Amino acid sequence: MITVLRIGHRPERDKRITTHVALVSRAFGADKIIVDKVDDKLKRTIDNVSKKFGGNFELEFGNYSEAIRKFKGTKVHLTMYGVPIEEKIDEIKKIENIMVIVGSEKVPRPIYEMADYNIAVKNQPHSEVSALSIFLDRLGREKGLKGELKIIPQEKGKKVLRIPGREECLALLDKYGADDRLKRHSVMCSKVALTTGKGCDSDPRLLEAGALLHDIGRTVTHSIFHGVEGYKILKREDMDETIARFCSTHVGAGLLKNTAKKLKLPDQDYIPRTIEEKIVCNSDTLLKGDKVVTIEEIAENYKKKGLASEVPRLKRLNSYLEKKCNFRIEDLMKLNEQ
C-alpha cells in the first residue's frame, strides 16, 4: 500500500501542481493521496480521471501531522537535503506499507524528524512532481489501471479506445431485440470470461463488453453469419474495431481464411488474436446455452454436426488458455450453480 501525503497545499496558488502530484501518484502506483487542505475541485478532477481511466485511487483531506502520527507503516520524506535515492531504494523496495511525503514551499522542520527516511532525488532543488514521479517509478509498484478509456499506444497521433460498460452492453442487446435465452447466454459468457481472465494479464472491462456483445448478431440470424452481422451492428453503433471484432472472431473457435471462403463469409480470417478475443471465444465454446460443459462434450457435438475438422483447433485454444490463464474447468463449472 502506497499513500502520498501532500503538505502545504494552497488551493489558489497550487491548483495545477497539486493536481499533478495526485495524477502522478495515481499513474505511478500509489493507492491514496492525503492533501492537507480541502479542495473540492481537486477531488472532482481526480475522481473523474479515475472514473474514466480506471483504478480505485483515493483522495482524502486531513491534517498532515495527524496523518503522519496515525500512519502505521514507513514514512519516506522527499527532500533535496536527504540521502541520495540510489543509496536507499533497494532497502525501501522491500517495505510493503509506505507513506511518501512531499512538500510545497518551506517544509516544517519536525517532518525531517518524523520521517523514517529523508530521500533526495538529486541534491538539487526542483519540484515535488518530478521527485515523486522518479521515486515512485524506481519503487516500481505501478498497477495495470483499467477503465472506460484505454489509450492505445501509437507511433504518431492519438488513439483512445472507449469500452462500453455492462449496463450499456445490456441496453444494446435490448435495443436489438435480444431474447432472454440470448441474454442469459451472453451474461454467462461474461462470467466465464471474467473468471478465466483473472489468471492472466487481460482487461476485465474488455472481456465483459466482448462477452456480452459477441452474439448480438444472433438478433439478425442464427447462421454462421451471425458473427459478421454482429460486427456490422457494433460498427453502426460507432463501437471501436476492438469491440466489434469480438463478434467476428468467436464463431467456430475462430475460422481460417480458407474455411471462411468455403462458408461464403466475407474474404478474411476470423481468428481471435488478442488475449481478450481468445478468452471470449473460448468461453463461448465452453457454453451450451447458459451452462458450462467440458471441451470433450463440445468436441462430440462438433463431430455430430460434421465439423470434426474444427475440433483440434478449439481444443488447442482451450489448452493454451488453461495454461496461460491457469484455469480449471471445474472452477468454471461452479458458475453453473450460481
- Closest separation in Å from C-beta 116 to ligand SAM: 15
**Any alpha helices (H) in 198-289, and if so which ranges?**
204-213, 226-236, 241-248, 257-262, 275-285
Q: Is 107 in the site for ligand SAM (CB under 6 A)?
A: yes
Residue 25: how many CB atoms within 10 A of its CB? 25
Q: Is 124 in the site for ligand SAM (CB under 6 A)?
A: yes
Q: Is 121 in the site for ligand SAM (CB under 6 A)?
A: yes
Residue 129 belongs to what H/E stretch?
Answer: helix 128-139
Considering the complex, state which of residue 79 and residue 219 has its C-beta at the smaller distance from ligand SAM: 79
Q: Is 127 in the site for ligand SAM (CB under 6 A)?
A: yes
**Range in contact with ligand SAM (rule: CB under 6 A) among 66-74, 101-109, 181-189, 292-300:** 101-109
Query: Helix, strand or coil for residue 327?
Result: coil
- Closest separation in Å from C-beta 185 to ligand SAM: 55
Residue 271 belongs to what H/E stretch?
Answer: none
- Closest separation in Å from C-beta 72 to ligand SAM: 22
Q: Is 188 in the site for ligand SAM (CB under 6 A)?
A: no
Q: Is 131 in the site for ligand SAM (CB under 6 A)?
A: yes
- Closest separation in Å from C-beta 157 to ligand SAM: 34
Among 21, 42, 98, 120, binds ligand SAM (CB under 6 A): 120
Nearest in space to 293 (alpha carbons), one of 285, 281, 304: 285
Longest dimension (CA), the chain: 80
* Total of residues contacting ligand SAM (CB under 6 A): 18
Distance (Å, rounded) from C-alpha 187 to C-alpha 184? 5
Strand partners, 78: 119
How would you label 126-146 residue by residue, b for 16+ Cβ within 10 Å and e otherwise? eebbebbbbbbebbeeeeebb
**Residue 82: which residues within 8 A CB-CB, separation 6 or more?**
117, 118, 119, 120, 123
- Per-position DSSP letters for 161-221, written without gaps between them: EEPP-HHHHHHHHHHTT--HHHHHHHHHHHHHHHHHHTTSS--HHHHHHHHHHTTGGGGT-
Considering the complex, state which of residue 100 and residue 212 has its C-beta at the smaller distance from ligand SAM: 100
Among 3, 18, 104, 202, binds ligand SAM (CB under 6 A): 104
**Range in contact with ligand SAM (rule: CB under 6 A) among 42-50, 117-125, 142-150, 256-264:** 117-125
Q: Is 106 in the site for ligand SAM (CB under 6 A)?
A: yes
Q: Is 122 in the site for ligand SAM (CB under 6 A)?
A: yes
Q: Which three cell numbers stand for residue 130?
A: 518530478
Q: Is 102 in the site for ligand SAM (CB under 6 A)?
A: yes
Among 3, 79, 248, 318, binds ligand SAM (CB under 6 A): 79
Q: Which residue of this chain has its Cβ atom nearest to ligand SAM in the complex?
A: 103
Considering the complex, state which of residue 21 and residue 49 has its C-beta at the smaller distance from ligand SAM: 21
Binding site for ligand SAM (CB under 6 A): 78-80, 102-107, 120-122, 124-128, 131
